[in-house]
Structure 1
Amino acid sequence: MDYYAPSQLPDIDAVELVDLKGLQPNLVSGYMEAAKNAPFVRVKGDTAQQIAHLWRHLPPDGQMRCHYPPFGLRFYADNKLLVQGSVCWECNNIHAEENGKNLVYEFDAQHPHSQELLILLQLLAKQSF
């Protein structure tokens, strides 16, 4: 599997936060595919830009060998899906899909940027799901 670089996310204008709880895909890379009918909330403006900023600044680190993501994110520009990924703070990894290609990113889930993103997503989820 190839590696993904969140820092390379282009300009976006919307983000969808996807609830991945309860999904059990056959592969760890299959969460976003399995989430086609999962609850989600679309955000724009400052909140979308804040999520994108934190995503771009997720610091690299090693991963554990599991994947239990509470959330997925879909990034859009002009209603075109740019990248989507399931994010696991327990296992320090993201399984992403960009242009039909499955990618992975390993990040430091305890870093302040990572924790800020988790807290922001938890707040959005609490208000939306």
Structure 2
Amino acid sequence: MTGIRRLAEEDRLSGATVAGGFVFLAGQVADDATLDAEGQTADILRQVDALLAEAGTDKRALLQVQVVLADIKDAPAMNRAWDAWLDPAAKPARMTIQAPLVNPAWRVEITGIALAPAGGRAA
């Protein structure tokens, strides 16, 4: 299929896809599941930065973010990492929910949609 660029491909999914002027992030989870919710969030946001950079853009282009917490009580810890990472001049729309995650050690999963760079049609 043309017009779609797939980034960070794994066995079952791509870490992100670029198509139609947008970057669609797969649900990102921490590489180190032993970290607390704040640490996992910081790790995930590092991954988001890397995927967006690979797509030719950055966090300022995020339009919408969805945060899933295994336990909603982790919201303050997640928000500490989020607030440290966030560009206050480019806040995306965001929702946060509680839901079980596939690996019980994961505390946080984050996905989102960003604008692709101008003329950023998939290669």
Q: For this structure pair, what is the TM-score category when the shorter chain's length is used for normalisation?
A: under 0.3
Q: TM-score, normalised by structure 1?
A: 0.24
Higher relative contact order (CA 8 A, sep 6+): 2
Q: Which has the larger radius of gyration?
A: 2
Q: TM-score, normalised by structure 2?
A: 0.25
